[in-house]
Each structure stands twice: as C-alpha cells, then as structure tokens.
Amino acid sequence: MSDEKTIERLLFLIKTRGPQTAVALGELVGTTSVAVRQHMEKLAQQGLVISEDRRESVGRPKKYWQLTEQGNSRFPDRHADLTLEMINSVVETFGEEGLNKLINKREKRSLEIYKPQVEKSDSLANKVKTLAKIREAEGYMAEVEQVEGGFLLHENHCPICIAATSCQGFCRSELQLFQEVLGDNAEINRESHIVSGARRCTYRIVEKTS
C-alpha cells in the first residue's frame, strides 16, 4: 500500500472508529506503530489530526490520535455552503412553514425509497442491516453493532451536517423516518448526536415486547 493510500486509510479509521493509538492503527492497516507515528506527525503538522495523552489503568499514558475540524472536512458534506444558502433562502421566501414543508417532502421521498427495501427483511436484525446499507450508500458511513437487547446503528459521518446544524427539523425528520421504516415493533432512541458535538450519531434499536 502506498503512503498516500495508507494515510487515507488512517484518516478513515479514525473517522469511523474514533480516537486511536498508533499501535491499534498499525494493526488495522498492517504496518508498524513507528510508521503510523511518522504519518500522524505529518498529518498533525498539516492540521488534520491532534493527539491526546490518556492515562489508563496501568503503565504510562497512551497517545490517542483524533481528527481536527479540518480533518473532518476532508469527508464529503454534499456542498455545505450551497445547502446552507438554500435553507436561508427558503426561510426568507416562504418562512419556517415553507422549510417544514421541504423537510416533510424530503422525509416522504426517503420513505418511498427506504421502505420497499427494508420490508423485504423478515427480522428486525435484517431490517436494521438493510437500513444501514442504504445509509452507507448515501454517505453516512453507517454500521450496525449488535448489543444486549438490540442493536446500535452508528453513523460516523453526516453529509447534511451543515443543514442539520442550521435546522434541527432535519434530525427530527430522520428519527421519524427510521421509526416508520422499521415499524411499530421497533423502539428507537438517539443516544449520541453529531450536531450536539458527539463524534457520531448513534441510535439504539430494540424490539418491543408485547
């Protein structure tokens, strides 16, 4: 793997897995921790990553690398400036009611795309996995983690983050969309939120008991 591809892989891993040590990153990309540290130092000089020393139960503090705001900006955001400008124009022209109509239209359209695909699945587990695949294709870097009592749907990137930050209605709409797609037997709660400063959005999904 070339240095350029290694660097892109390292950035992607930190984006999707959160802060990582050089040792952990080396194991994931198949290189030495020394080589990773060299890459990280160069990326730090470019302003793409920063490090933090964390003291764990035993031994010396470990250095964890994480993305800066500039590092996060390397991932697609679906033309954030244009999106924000359009939102402001809609509010100025049609008011908040017009923006809500736009959000509802987007939710309805997404429902028409998501539901037929998710409904093919015969279990909540498969429905959540199908939903994650759809979201992954849309740029959300989605993944499913099975936990006791249900599932965690992680979205490591938000391609509409600027829009969602400007208008919380987008986030409320997506939560409603997930509920409609997965059905009444699923209970969904958002546990972390990129817009609120979290590293990623996480939804806990459990099957309702009768």
For 34-56, what is each residue's pLDDT tens digit? Answer: 999 999 999 999 999 999 898 87
Q: Round to whole Å and give the CA distance between 128 and 51.
A: 34
Which residue from 73, 62, 56 is spatially nearest to 21, judged by alpha carbons? 62
Domain boundary residue among 72, 99, 125? 72
Task: Based on the fold, state whether residues 140 and 195 are members of the same structural domain.
Answer: yes
Q: How confident is the model at residue 93 (pLDDT cuts 50, 70, 90)?
A: confident
Per-residue pLDDT at 55: 82
- Lowest mean pLDDT across 26-30, 67-71, 127-131, 176-180: 67-71
Can you give the pLDDT at residue 165? 65
Same domain, yes or no: 15 and 84? no
Answer with the one of 51, 72, 93 that is the final residue of a domain. Answer: 72
Q: Count of domains in the chain?
A: 2
Task: Please classify residue 143 by burial: count the beta carbons closer than 10 Å to its beta carbon, then call 0-12 exposed, 13-18 middle and 19+ buried.
Answer: middle
161, 86: one domain: yes
100 has pLDDT over 90: no
Q: Are residues 88 and 166 in the same domain?
A: yes
129-166 residue pLDDT tens: 999 999 998 888 999 999 999 999 999 988 777 666 66
Same domain membership, residue 58 and residue 143: no
Eight-class DSSP state of 208: P
Q: Tell me: do 93 and 175 sit in the same domain.
A: yes
Q: Which helix (H) or strand (E) holds 207?
A: strand 201-207
The dihedrals phi and psi of 195, each to the nearest 5 degrees, come to -60, -30
* Position 121 pLDDT exceeds 60: yes
Task: Print the domain residue range for 61.
Answer: 3-72
What pLDDT is attached to residue 22? 94
Claim to verify: residue 22 and residue 101 sit in the same structural domain? no
Share of the chain above pLDDT 90, in %: 49
Whether 45 and 90 map to the same domain: the answer is no
Please check whether residues 29 and 98 belong to one and the same domain: no
Query: Same structural domain for residues 110 and 68?
Result: no
Q: Is the pLDDT of residue 110 over 90?
A: yes
Cβ-based neighbours of 31, under 8 Å, separated by 6 or more: 6
pLDDT digits (tens, 9 = 90+) for 162-210: 666 666 778 888 999 999 999 999 999 999 988 888 889 999 999 987 6
53 token code pair: 């020393």
The pLDDT, as a whole number, for residue 117 is: 95
Residue after which a domain boundary falls, among 30, 50, 72: 72
Measure CA 120 to chain center.
25
Q: Given this model, what pLDDT does residue 83 score?
A: 65
